[in-house]
Structure 1
Amino acid sequence: MTRLLLLPFLLLVACADAPADPAASDGTTEAASVAASTFGEAVPDGDALTPDALIAEAETYAGKTVVVEGVAREVCQQAGCWLTFSDDEGQLVRINVPRDESESYVYTFPKDAAGRTVRVTGILDVTPESVEDQRHYAEDAGASPEEVAAITEPKNTLVLTALGAELADA
């Protein structure tokens, strides 16, 4: 009889929730929970440009590797293959995820990254963007058909090909 009572007790203990990390009681996982998720190469420590500074001085930084930190405005909702920063006037810089030899994305951003702080290192380029490409990006961002149809002229776009990124955990 004692053995029969012991079996349910053992099952209950085995199925009980245990802390995922034994260090949780000393607060160390609290600090880790505010850490950033890293994608691609490590982002250098130190000063970073703001989106405003990068956009204002784009010609100076074109073709160079830069570090920029800002709040993600939009994220590709199809694959997570790009996100955008904007300056105070709404001008955008798009952060593209690079592709490997097989044309697969090296990594992707979480689709819920909009509104989160992102620190990125990459190479800035000023790229002509066709109406078709602009419409494609607008659709990926979830724009309405009316917003997509309103795009009627090509434009130059600031594109940072991200070598690595750190995304602040939500």
Structure 2
Amino acid sequence: MKKYLLIIAVAAAFYACKEETKNNVEEQVVEKEVVEVKYKSFGKEIMADDAIAANSMLTHYKDLKVGDTIDTKVKLKVNEVCQAKGCWMTADLGDGNEVRVTFKDYGFFMPKNISGEEVIVNGKAFVKEMPVEELRHYAEDAGKSKEEIEAITDPERTYSLVADGVLLVEK
């Protein structure tokens, strides 16, 4: 019996002296850097919330027929801006497609040097059969050569958007 008491006493002493290891779960604090994007506003004041991606807008355009119109707010990358006065711009929709954006009632214009910049555009989207004269006018505004303008001989089905407000990401 003394052996058992001695073993229990040694075990108790060993257990008491044993360094306590706790399975503390260290909380990892993940700090997300919140980057506030600042915008310069043109036209009607709009919010950046709820803007859809360009490729989603392309899907909507493919479902539209000439004459259909939908209200939209879309995030786009500018391809080209009217070099005469900034009265229109084209933007990438993905898959080699682009949208021509004009501004409601010519109420505002965009800076001419924003090619490659990101914008959020709010307005009415529609599909249009653009006549040759209008295509040539836009080509002239874009600074195309006389030969490029004269090469336009057929009307074109285009994706269009009349914007009432635009946000331009400030750098």
State if a TM-score over 0.5 links the two structures.
yes
2:123 corresponds in structure 1 to 122
Length-normalised TM-score, structure 2 = 0.70
Which portions of structure 1, spanning 4 or more consecutive aligned residues, are displaced by more than 6 angstroms? none
Q: Which runs of 5+ in 1 are unaligned?
A: 1-30, 100-104
1:126 partner amino acid: V
Q: Which runs of 5+ in 2 are unaligned?
A: 1-34
Deviations 1:68-91 (A, max 9, x none): 111100001112111111233322
> 2:94 aligns to what SS in structure 1?
coil
Q: Is the 8 A contact 1:51 1:93 kept in 2?
A: no
Length-normalised TM-score, structure 1 = 0.71
**How much has 1:45 moved relative to structure 2?**
3.5
Identity %: 35
2:139 corresponds in structure 1 to 138
Q: Is the 8 A contact 2:76 2:93 kept in 1?
A: no
For these two proteins, the number of residue pairs brought into alignment is 134
Q: CA RMSD in A?
A: 2.0
**How much has 1:132 moved relative to structure 2?**
1.1
**How much has 1:59 moved relative to structure 2?**
4.9
> 2:136 aligns to what SS in structure 1?
helix
Deviations 1:46-67 (A, max 9, x none): 2322222212321546412101
Distance 2:145 2:121 in 1: 29
2:69 corresponds in structure 1 to 63
> 1:55 aligns to what SS in structure 2?
helix
- Higher Cα Rg, which structure: 2
2:82 partner amino acid: C
- Evaluate the alpha carbon distance shift between residue 150 and residue 90 of structure 1 in structure 2; reply closer, same or farther with a 3 A threshold: farther
- Evaluate the alpha carbon distance shift between residue 41 and residue 60 of structure 1 in structure 2; reply closer, same or farther with a 3 A threshold: farther
Correspondences of 1:4-153 after superposition (within 5 Å): 35-60=38-63, 62-99=68-105, 105-153=106-154
Distance 2:62 2:161 in 1: 13
Distance 2:49 2:159 in 1: 23
- Evaluate the alpha carbon distance shift between residue 46 and residue 118 of structure 1 in structure 2; reply closer, same or farther with a 3 A threshold: same
1:75 partner amino acid: V
**Which stretch shows the higher mean deviation, 136-145 or 51-60?**
51-60
